Structure 1
């Protein structure tokens, strides 16, 4: 497989995933983007999560993360509380409304996963995960 076709295949897959995610979110009448979804999931998964953690995990600058978090706060999906471990920062928590959205997102993720994996064997999926992991590592190390 030539490099340009591999790269084009990855772009096409990412585009299709984003398109289907947007469609699913719109059907549920959720006013959030896939990036908001990622942030909600991260906050929910991390026992102690701060804005700095989000910026590092997403490899985004603090201003972008602040805008994302402010939008989620405005929609009452997350809240900031004092961080007992560091008085200079605040912890992020998912609200009950945010937990409801996460429940919908879990359904969306399951549907997307089932649709994407149709006709793909476990061995093929493991190989795909191995290869994409290697590609990610290569790019992380690239100058």
Structure 2
């Protein structure tokens, strides 16, 4: 809960409307360099309508931009805007601060053990 509230506080400080799904979508776009809406549908396992709403909200806030797809002139690619990159970097910084606070007092070995255990829990959950 504490992590979520810190992330929400940072989003408010940045003066944007932003959900966890939008964060995931922007992270994927950053990771791939440019993405189509269909790529987001497949990677996030969400329906087209839900992805269309996410993209519309991100476009309305100038967090992403549409670019013509050079391989297919009928399609567009989504890229992060400068504002989107700044927001994502700030959220990553906050996340790193939270992780640092969470692991304070842990040895390197304990941190690694915790990571292994959490990875196993994540795999067990599917």
- Residues 1:50 and 2:36 aligned together: yes
The separation in 1 between residues aligned to 2:11 and 2:65, in whole angstroms, is 22
Higher RCO by CA contacts (8 Å cutoff, separation 6 or greater)? 2
Matched, 1:124 2:104: no
Secondary structure of 2:65's counterpart equals: strand
CA distance in 1, matches of 2:106, 2:48: 39
1:127-142 correspondence to structure 2 within 5 Å? 127-140=113-126
Structure 2 residues not aligned, in runs of 5+: none
**Cα distance change on mapping 1:110 and 1:61 into 2, 3 Å:** same
The corresponding residue for 1:6 is: none
| Root mean square deviation of aligned Cα | 2.2
Kindly state the Cα deviation for residue 18 of structure 1 after the two structures are TM-superposed: 1.8
Q: Does residue 115 of structure 1 match 2:115?
A: no
Relative to its length, the structure with more strand (as a share) is 2
Alignment coverage as a number of residue pairs = 126
8 Å contact from structure 2 (residues 14, 87) kept in 1: no
- 1:85 corresponds to: 71
- Is 1:75 matched up with 2:61? yes
Residue 88 of structure 1: CA displacement? 5.2
Change (3 A) 1:86 1:127: farther
Structure 2 length normalisation: TM-score?
Answer: 0.80
Residue from 51, 54, 59 that aligns with 1:65: 51
Name the CA distance, whole Å, in 2 between partners of 1:75 and 1:123.
43
CA distance in structure 2 between the partners assigned to 1:105 and 1:21 by the alignment = 7
Q: Report how far residue 67 of structure 1 moved.
A: 0.8
Quick check: 1:21–1:108 contact (8 Å CA) kept in 2?
A: yes
